[in-house]
């Protein structure tokens, strides 16, 4: 089915049939329905007041004790996909006027795929850490802008013996890990012809990831309302180390919505990403893909929430005869988010590829800490 959603570069221009719009249409319909469920009030402040003054008095769908934190800010980590724009799940929240937020996050992934078909060979054997700094600013009237830059480190790692031991303990297959030496490294994808064509062959080391910028607009609802709907545009700039970036410009558009019932929150998002392709990857890559997420958040204590989140999309590349490249990239994340003090927030999450033969990586641990500054806050 996804073969028809986006064509390969050599097959022609980017195309998307009408059914691609279904996930986005669901989100677009979600916001107004959520807003219609909020309680009536004698005098409802304008949207700007709700967006820009999160602590202002007025009609609220829930008290601050039940305010949402989620969704989990995670992204696809496949070594081929991650050269391009893999949008981070950000949700519908938008900073208020004059509010600034800086976040430091790190993600550590274990990646192992050793597969061959009659025409292709894939060796992804590494551990990857990414350390990222993001900065966002609220402009008022529901608008927010931000950017992110980070460094990526790829190496053979240290987890192979422990992972194999756990698999053997519980009777799980080792996915051919026994065929290679523990601590080995490889990011290779090529053809198996007499004159092999190499599409990906990257060395270990540390490199700059491509900077990314975004702009968001909250079209309806608010932080204290029972629902909200936000549109976001993201752009990956054509920079970065060759081990961590395609060095081409990619862009994406998405819609994100939230519906809340007290301390329980449902987060949805759907969007489309379009790639700029370097010549060496044009034969295997597609022009673009769709992506989406659904998360359920439950407040369990003052300043702490637990989340379960499912995210994925269509394939960035296909036609290899290898399930771990041809299937849809899908992930399940479990974790927590919370706040301490007046300005600090955090996230801890664990992401697993579901099912295990998808292009997504074996698992990723994400950690984040963030600091916010609001007008009038004590310095």
Please give the distance of CA 335 from its chain centroid, rounded to a whole number. Answer: 14
pLDDT digits (tens, 9 = 90+) for 330-340: 999 999 999 99
Nearest to 348 by CA among 333, 360, 331, 329: 333
What pLDDT does 20 receive? 44
* Mean local confidence (pLDDT), 140-156: 96
Average pLDDT score over residue span 175-191: 84
pLDDT of residue 64 exceeding 70, the answer is no
Looking at CATH, the fold of the domain delimited by 2-109+128-154+206-373 is given as Porin (2.40.160)
Average pLDDT over residues 28-51: 42
pLDDT of residue 77: 96
Whose CA is closest to 275, among 91, 129, 111, 87? 87
Per-residue H/E/C for the chain: CHHHCCCEHHHCCCCCCHHHHHHHHHHHHHHHHHHHCCCCCCCCCCHHHHHHCCCCCCCCCCCHHHCCCCCCCCCCCCCCHHHCCCCCCCCCCCCCCCCEEEEEEEEEEEEEEEEECCCEEEEEEEEEEEEEEEEEEEEECCEEEEEEEEEEEEECCCCHHHHHHHHHHHCCCCCCHHHCCCCCCEEEEEECCCCCCEEEECCCEEEECCCEEEEEEEEEECCCCCEEEEEEEEEECCCCCCCCCCCCCEEEEEEEEEEEECCEEEEEEEEEEECCCCHHHCCCEECEEEEEEEEEEEEEECCEEEEEEEEEECCCECCCCCHHHHCCCEEEEEEEEEEECCCEEEEEEEEEECCCCCCCCCEEEEEEEEEEECCCCCC
Q: What angle do CA 200, 233, 208 make, to 5 degrees?
A: 40
Rounded average pLDDT over 56-72 = 68
- Mean pLDDT to the nearest integer, 283-310: 96
pLDDT tier for residue 159 given thresholds of 50, 70 and 90:
confident
Residue 367 bridge partners (DSSP): 106, 348
Nearest CA among 275, 285, 255 for reference residue 22: 255
pLDDT of residue 7: 56
Calculate what percentage of the chain has a pLDDT beyond 90: 68
Q: In whole angstroms, how far apart are CA 279 and each of 9, 245, 285?
A: 10, 14, 10
- Between these two residues, 378 and 292, which has the higher pLDDT value? 292
pLDDT for 39 equals 43
C-alpha R_g of the chain: 21
Neighbours of 150 (CB within 10 A): 20
pLDDT value at residue 177? 75
Q: CA-to-CA distance for 53 and 50, rounded, in angstroms?
A: 6
Amino acid 369: pLDDT: 98
Place of tokens 């449902």: 266
Mean pLDDT of 300-304: 94
Domain boundaries, the chain: 2-109+128-154+206-373
- What CA–CA distance (Å, rounded) separates 186 from 157? 11
Q: What confidence score (pLDDT) does residue 24 get?
A: 46
pLDDT greater than 80 at residue 260: yes
Q: Does the pLDDT of residue 143 top 90, yes or no? A: yes
- Look over the chain and give the mean of its residue pLDDT values, rounded to a whole number: 85
Res 377: pLDDT? 59
The pTM is what?
0.83
Grade residue 318 by pLDDT with cuts at 50, 70 and 90.
Answer: confident
Q: What pLDDT, on a 0 to 100 scale, did the predictor assign at position 8?
A: 56
pLDDT at position 178, please? 72
Least confident of 30-39, 76-85, 111-120, 312-321: 30-39
Question: CB of 48 within 8 A of CB of 142?
Answer: yes
CB burial readout 4-40, b (16+ within 10 A) else e? ebbbbbeeeeeebeeebeebbeebbebbeebbeebee
Per-residue model confidence as pLDDT tens digits over 339-362:
998 899 999 999 999 998 899 999
d(CA 37, CA 259): 10
Q: What is the dihedral of CA 330, 254, 10, 76, to 10 degrees?
A: -30
């Amino acid at each position: 089915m996804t073969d028809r959603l986006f064509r390969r570069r050599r097959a022609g221009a980017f195309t998307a049939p009408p059914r691609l719009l279904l996930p986005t249409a669901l989100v677009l319909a979600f916001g107004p329905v959520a807003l219609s469920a909020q309680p009536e009030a004698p005098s409802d402040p304008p949207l700007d007041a709700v967006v820009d003054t999160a602590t202002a008095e007025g009609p609220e769908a829930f008290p601050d004790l039940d305010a949402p934190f989620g969704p989990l800010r995670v992204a696809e980590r496949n070594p081929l996909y991650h050269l391009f724009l893999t949008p981070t799940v950000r949700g519908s929240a938008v900073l208020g006027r004059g509010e600034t937020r800086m976040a430091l996050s790190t993600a550590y992934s274990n990646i192992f795929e050793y597969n061959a078909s009659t025409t292709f060979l894939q060796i992804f054997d590494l551990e990857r850490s990414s350390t990222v700094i993001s900065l966002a600013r609220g402009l008022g009237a529901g608008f927010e802008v931000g950017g992110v830059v980070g460094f990526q480190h790829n190496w053979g790692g240290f987890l192979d013996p422990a992972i194999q031991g756990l698999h053997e303990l519980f009777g799980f297959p080792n996915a051919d890990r026994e065929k290679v030496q523990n601590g080995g490294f490889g990011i290779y994808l090529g053809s198996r012809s007499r004159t092999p064509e190499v599409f990906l062959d990257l060395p270990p080391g540390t490199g700059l990831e491509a900077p990314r910028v975004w702009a968001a607009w909250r079209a309806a609802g608010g932080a204290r309302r029972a629902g909200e709907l936000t549109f976001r545009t993201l752009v990956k700039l054509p920079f970065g180390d060759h081990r961590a970036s395609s060095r081409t410009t990619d862009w994406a558009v998405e819609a994100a919505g939230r519906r809340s019932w007290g301390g329980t929150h449902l987060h949805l998002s759907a969007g489309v990403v379009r790639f700029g392709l370097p010549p060496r990857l044009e034969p295997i890559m597609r022009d673009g893909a769709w992506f989406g997420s659904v998360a359920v958040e439950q407040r369990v204590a003052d300043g702490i929430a637990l989340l379960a989140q499912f995210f994925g999309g269509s394939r960035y590349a296909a036609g290899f005869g290898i399930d771990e490249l041809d299937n849809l990239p899908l992930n399940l994340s479990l974790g927590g988010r919370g706040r301490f003090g007046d300005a600090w927030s955090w996230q801890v999450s664990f992401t697993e590829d579901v099912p295990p033969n998808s292009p997504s990586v074996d698992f990723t641990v994400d950690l984040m800490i963030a600091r916010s500054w609001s007008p009038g806050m004590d310095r």
